Amino acid sequence: MRARSAEKEANEGEPRWAYLRSTWEELHRFAKVHGLSHATCIALKKTLDALTMNETDQEPLKFYKLENIKPSGDLLADARKILAEAERLERVDWRHARRNRATAISLGTAVPARPEDVHKNHVFGKGLFWDADTGNYRFEYRPQKTCGTVAEPLRIPLNPEYGAFIDAVILQDQDRRYLGDLRAQAIAAQRPLYVNYDGSPCAYGWYSRQWAAITGTGGQIARTVIYDSFASEGEFGLQYAKASTFHKTDAIPEKYRSMKSKEVSYRTAQDLIFANRSDDDYADLI
């Protein structure tokens, strides 16, 4: 509700130029492909350029939603609580559902995948792998949005703490001594990471609904949250955010960074300047 309130306020008094720009972009593309007159294409392009300029001056709606969403570390803490609470629920299907939700939120803080990739690639033995040598899981797959243009896969090894969530959705109510066998079965069967209590794959929209239950908006917001959360870590943090979202150019991350994120980066850089100074540098000024 809080995110929707911020969204409503952001829409008051001014249209969302991004919506209009995307509409005119498709109209312009349609006109060119279907051979409409040159004058029509020019007119559409002129309007498209104006809308693009207006969009540049308007803060994206997702940044308004961020105002009421916790940073990645706090979301991970919430996921831990959900996982712990699952053990105390009376019904087995409720416990199953809560473990799924906890895992969806936790992994979204490490690898904020698009819902389409969660549905198609977060699958044991297909996009999610177990490294027996290290005892850790890793994601490795070609994201759906860029698989036709980028040959390089997304490859992110996971911290063991994230692995504990994955183990939980494998085990559910089974004894931990069966984990190895159940994991091997899931990999051999290429089982989706998220399945319902009856064993069927969770629906396409399931992932975003889990995020909406916790943050008030869908799973796509995780890709913006990670940039805000890692801004204080300097270049290292931003590079991780870029890698985990599979943004291959420097231009794309700019669209996911709020002004708050940029201001945090500026403060971090200035703090680093003062942290690296020598007190002797000021001796002659006193």
Q: Are residues 162 and 264 in the same domain?
A: no
Of 66, 81, 112, at which residue does a domain stop? 66
Q: What are phi and psi of 128, to 5 degrees?
A: -125, 120
Q: Are residues 236 and 195 in the same domain?
A: no
Q: What is the pLDDT of residues 19-54, one digit of tens each?
A: 788 898 999 999 999 999 999 999 999 999 988 887
Q: Are residues 103 and 166 in the same domain?
A: yes
Q: What is the pLDDT of residue 252?
A: 52
- The rounded distance, in Å, linking the Cα atoms of 265 and 63 is 16
Q: What is the pLDDT of residue 198?
A: 94
Residue position matching structure tokens 């105390």: 88
128: three-class secondary structure by DSSP: strand
Of 46, 66, 86, at which residue does a domain stop? 66
- Structural domain boundaries, residue 44: 2-66
What is the distance in angstroms between the CA of the first residue and the CA of the last residue of the chain? 55
- The rounded distance, in Å, linking the Cα atoms of 210 and 219 is 8
Q: Are residues 26 and 123 in the same domain?
A: no
User: How much is the average pLDDT of 216-244?
Assistant: 71
Q: Which letter does DSSP use for residue 199 in this model?
A: S
Q: What is the pLDDT of residue 240?
A: 67
Q: What is the pLDDT of residue 152?
A: 83
Q: What is the pLDDT of residue 29?
A: 92
The answer to whether position 285 is within a domain reads no
The answer to whether position 57 is within a domain reads yes
Mean pLDDT taken over the chain: 81
How many structural domains compose the chain? Answer: 3
Q: What is the pLDDT of residues 246-262, one digit of tens each?
A: 665 665 555 555 556 55
Give the long-range contacts of residues 39-45, CB within 8 A, separation 24 or more: none
Sequence-distant (≥ 6) Cβ neighbours of residue 68 within 8 angstroms: 2, 3, 6, 216
User: How much is the average pLDDT of 98-111?
Assistant: 95
Q: Are residues 205 and 95 in the same domain?
A: yes
The two tokens of residue 232 are: 């204080």
- The rounded distance, in Å, linking the Cα atoms of 255 and 75 is 22
Q: Are residues 117 and 256 in the same domain?
A: no
Of 66, 86, 119, at which residue does a domain stop? 66
User: How much is the average pLDDT of 165-170?
Assistant: 97
Q: Are residues 194 and 238 in the same domain?
A: no
**Residues found in the chain:** 286
The answer to whether position 56 is within a domain reads yes
Q: What is the pLDDT of residues 2-18, one digit of tens each?
A: 444 444 454 455 777 77
Single-letter code of the amino acid located at 110? A
Q: Are residues 44 and 81 in the same domain?
A: no
Q: What is the pLDDT of residue 57?
A: 65
